[in-house]
Structure 1
Amino acid sequence: MPDNKNDAFVYATYPDLRDKRVVITGGGTGIGSELVSAFVGQGARVWFLDIADEASRQLADSLAGAAHPPRFMRCDLTDLNALAATFAAIESEAGGIDVLLNNAANDDRHGIDDVTPEYWENRMAVNLRHQFFCAQAAVRSMRRDGGGVILNFGSISWHLASSQLSLYMTAKAAIEGLSRGLARDLGEHNIRVNSVIPGAVRTPRQQALWHTPEEEARILAGQCLRERVEMQDVAALSLFLASNNARRCSGREYFVDAGWYGA
């Protein structure tokens, strides 16, 4: 059997994604930036939201030669008025939304004794609340247009019971329940909703802050596949779930974690 692990990664092509109107939250850096590149590469029309101005503008500039260059829209998703205005602007410009990827999140570590009520509210706003209100905003045009796709991004962390992430894990566990509830309520409108559950993805942020050689060894020891999960692996799964190839997939959790059961 050939060893393909060092081959260049090539995305499958999904012709039905061409010209689709795609909104990606947290699209300026990390997994989000790869989602933007992957969907632009399919010929989709992409709007991405972030507060990381410099990185987002660099990403948009790097894809300026695409058939549909992506549009960066600065939006603080914890500000629900700004969120609503941004989605209204996208709908006005695009005429509707076909695919929403709720990717934005922040996995800052915290100790139990350090959590204040204000910090709790902030973490829920950053990691959970906006997923519902982005979906609510996108669904209006999806219903009108006869269907759509919503992908809510969770995390392997709560399945493993990771340390110093109690609030993050609370939010990420709730996202799976949110996805199932939305899938049930919106199925009659031909709107599919699923959760994408990334494992220990090798992103610049994770590598800079937490993925030391010792941590990488621990991760690999806990995975069935002894290869790191890359941002492209998450984007590849997302492309499939957004496409018509996944037309009967809804209300479920899809893991891309190399079979990580902890160590």
Structure 2
Amino acid sequence: MEKTGENTGRYAIYPSLHDKVVIVTGGASGIGEAIVEAFAQQRARVAFLDVQDAPAAELVQRIESAGLPVPAYYHCDLTDIASLQAVCGQILNSFGAVDVLVNNAGNDTRHSIEEVTAESWDRTMAINLKQQFFMIQAVIPAMKKAGHGSIINMSSIAWAIPSTNVPVYVGAKAAIVGMTRTLAHELGSSNIRVNCVMPGAVLTERQKRLWLTEEYKAEILAAQALKRMIVPEEVARLVLFLASDDSATITNQSHVIDAGWI
């Protein structure tokens, strides 16, 4: 993949994203990191939320060193709704508006049916579903005031395969599709678009560190039509399109990026 700030001319530039205010949750690593970087390359004004301070600082430094608009990092535990709401208020006070929300944060830690407790159920739903709703709720007034907005929720193909050994996570990711559809209709009259992205197996550092054995990689490639792994930057480019004016009439949709798995 190209280095930060490098413009090879291979990928799209969206003039409509220039100077737009973009909020990205879970932006310090993985797919979120690629999304923050991609919006910076489009000269957008980015605020991102995470709890990983060191990786966030490294990302900000890398983007700044490339001469791109420097994103603003906000430490925030998204499962703490009061904190989430306070941070969103700070972002709106600082930036004055929000044009795009990317609900990227999530956690796909493996779990069996037997080990799920009421507490672990609540934690999994809190990070994968609940915080997405309350992030949307927090930005709606500013988007309505501006008369436009694009909200992009991160789901997964996990619920459609369906994946095993992640039953609560799968439930949350399926619910995101339903939430996206109803909110698209509730907010469409305010010219606010709501879509979701459903990635397949993406080659993040977390996946490589925790689960991507040679055997599992072979299973993934056997299931996919394209026989190569997806990288985070490829998901980020889909998000850019959905945030831009090029997709101005696309809403209420679930966009699969899985190399042809489902």
Q: Could you say which TM-score interval applies, normalised by the shorter chain?
A: over 0.9
What SS is found at the alignment partner of 2:143? helix
State the alpha-carbon separation in 1 of the partners of residues 228 and 238 from structure 2. Answer: 17
* Equivalences for residues 165-180 of structure 1 within 5 A: 165-180=166-181
Structure 2 distance, partners of 1:240, 1:232, is 13
Equivalent position of 1:27 in the other structure: 27
| Aligned position for 2:253 | 252
1:158-203 C-alpha deviation (Å, 9 max, x unpaired): 1111111000000000000010011000000000000101110000
Residue by residue, what CA displacement relative to the aligned partner does 1:177-235 show, whole Å, maximum 9, x if unpaired?
01001100000000000010111000000011111111111101101111211111100
What amino acid maps onto 2:19 in structure 1?
D
Equivalent runs, 1:44-123 vs 2, <5 Å:
44-65=44-65, 66-123=67-124
- Counterpart code for 2:165: Q
For residues 49 and 23 of structure 1, what CA distance do their matches in structure 2 show?
8
**How many Å apart are 1:9 and its aligned residue?**
9.2
C-alpha displacement at 1:113, in angstroms?
1.1
Cα RMSD, aligned residues only: 1.1
Task: Give the whole-Å Cα distance in 1 for the aligned partners of 2:28 and 2:112.
Answer: 28
Unaligned residue ranges in structure 2 (runs of 5+): 1-7
Q: Helix, strand or coil for the counterpart of 1:33?
A: helix
Matched residues in 2 for 1:96 and 1:241: separation?
Answer: 19
| Separation in 1, partners of 2:187, 2:23 | 18
1:17 aligns with 2:51: no
TM-score (ref. length: structure 2): 0.95
Paired-residue identity, %: 46
SS of equivalent to 1:69 = coil
Cα displacement (A) at 1:10 = 4.0
SS in 2 for 1:22: strand
Deviates more, 1:26-35 or 1:67-76: 67-76
Deviations 1:31-78 (A, max 9, x none): 000000000000000000000111111111111143420011000000
Paired position in structure 1 for 2:241? 240
Map of 1:202 onto structure 2: 203
Secondary structure of 1:11 counterpart: coil
TM-score (norm 1): 0.95
**Structure 1 unmatched runs, 5+:** 1-7
Question: What pairs with 1:212-223 in structure 2 (closer than 5 Å)?
Answer: 212-223=213-224
Deviates more, 1:63-72 or 1:94-103: 63-72
CA distance in 1, matches of 2:161, 2:68: 41
SS in 2 for 1:97: coil
Q: Distance between the aligned counterparts of 2:231 and 2:64, measured in 1?
A: 24
**1:106 is paired with a residue of what secondary structure?**
coil
Deviates more, 1:64-73 or 1:45-54: 64-73
Q: Which residue of 2 aligns with 1:226?
A: 227
| Residue of structure 1 equivalent to 2:151 | 150
2:228 aligned counterpart, secondary structure: coil
Provide the secondary structure at the position in 2 that maps to 1:259.
coil
Return the alpha-carbon distance in structure 2 between the equivalents of residues 191 and 124 of structure 1: 25
CA distance in 2, matches of 1:179, 1:112: 27
Residues of 2 paired with 1:138 and 1:216: CA distance?
38
Which residue type is aligned with residue 101 of structure 2?
Answer: L
1:11 alignment partner AA: Y
Code of the residue aligned with 2:258 in structure 1: it is D
Alignment correspondent of 1:182: 183
- 2:3 corresponds to which residue? none
